[in-house]
Each structure stands twice: as structure tokens, then as C-alpha cells.
Amino acid sequence: MTAEKIIAQGAEAVLVHKDKFLIKKRVKKGYRHPLIDAALRKSRTRKESRILDKAGSIITVPTVSDVDEQKFNITMDFIPGKKISEWLDKFPLKDSLKICEEIGGKIGLMHKADIIHGDLTTSNMILHENKVWIIDFGLGFISTRNEDKAVDLHLMKQALESKHFLHWQEYFKKIIEGYKIYDKSETVLKQFEKVEERGRYKRKMHK
């Protein structure tokens, strides 16, 4: 048995790698009332584990093996592999485009199941066993609203623009191609255009 190793520390949680597992430990917030803090961490732990379970029935995500609502921990499979944020631009372009199409397909399947990821970036995707694995559903929720699905796509586009600016347009085009596996994709994409337009208007107003 190996020792626990902290591999990431964010505002909401600490990620610990131990053996074949990843333990997500939601951290206490000193600025919140202790009872409110405990209730929030408990509800977020429960919600994330349920979304992971639901997503795991349709796409490749870490499998949850234990949920401790008293310690606010989720234990799941550790997914080794290449973080797509670090590798997408290093692959031959045709391989990168194939990966993007797979990403789009997985987003489409999530949205078909009304799962909103809430933080779609290539930093939350791992290439393992020639498959794209989606990780970190900490901001995820369930919604039937086209607006929420459109915002998910908008976040993905923004992430590509900032992290993969050389090929982001080609990448996003392939993601949208893959996304069309979702039978209501056209409706969401119309809403996506409205979300994009609002973003352009806000940028124009702040110039």
C-alpha cells in the first residue's frame, strides 16, 4: 500500500492519489458558518457522486467506489494517462481532430442524459487506453434547459480559444460534429449562438 500523495489543491477540494484510487476531499471554509459549511460540503459531495454514477453509465468517467458524507470525501478510480490540455497540440493534427470529435460525442451523450458538466475544459479530460475520460464533475448538475447545455458548450469553446489558440477553430468544429450524436443538438446550438451573441455584446460594452 502506497502513501497518500496530494496531486492537486483547489478552492473546493484536495485531490489525493493513493494506490489505484483518487480521493476527493472537500475542504472546510473558515468564512462560512460551521453548520452551513458542513451542509454545503455534504450536499455537494452527494450530488457529485450521483452525477458520476449517472455519467458512468453512458461515457468513460472515474468509477466511484466509496462516498463518505461525514468526511465529505469521494473515493474513485484514479485514471492514469495524458491530460488532454497538455497533449492535444502535441499530437499530429489529424489525431487531435479525432480526439475532439470524440470529446464532442461525449458532451452530446451527457447532454442527452441532461448532465451539465459545468467546467468543460481540456484540463478536465484525460486520454487513457485510447479513450477520452471526462473528470471533475464538482460543478456539475442535472438540467433539461437548453441554456445550460449551450453554456457548457460556450465554456468548452472559451477553453479551446485560451489554451489551444493555434487550432481552436478546427478543434471546436470537430467537437460540434461529434456533438450532433445528440438528437436535440440543433436546438442547443441555436441557443449557443444566442449565448455567444450575449458574450460579444458584453465585450463590446466593456471596451
Query: What pTM does this model have?
Result: 0.93
Any bridge partners for residue 64, and if so which?
Answer: 76
Does 119 qualify as catalytic in the annotation? yes
User: Is-contact 118 195, C-beta < 8 A?
Assistant: no
pLDDT of residue 11: 82
Question: What is the distance in angstroms between the CA of the first residue and the CA of the last residue of the chain?
Answer: 56
Do residues 14 and 103 share a domain?
A: no
Residues spanned by the domain of 187: 82-205
In the set 37, 77, 114, 119, the catalytic residue is 119
Given 46, 77, 108, the domain boundary residue is 77
Q: Is the pLDDT of residue 202 over 80?
A: no
Q: Is the pLDDT of residue 151 over 60?
A: yes
Do residues 65 and 158 share a domain?
A: no
Any bridge partners for residue 24, and if so which?
Answer: 15, 74
Please give the Cα distance from 108 to 90 (Å, whole number): 25
pLDDT of residue 113: 98
Do residues 108 and 170 share a domain?
A: yes
Domain count, the chain: 2
Provide the CATH number for the domain around residue 90. Answer: 1.10.510.10
Given 40, 57, 77, the domain boundary residue is 77
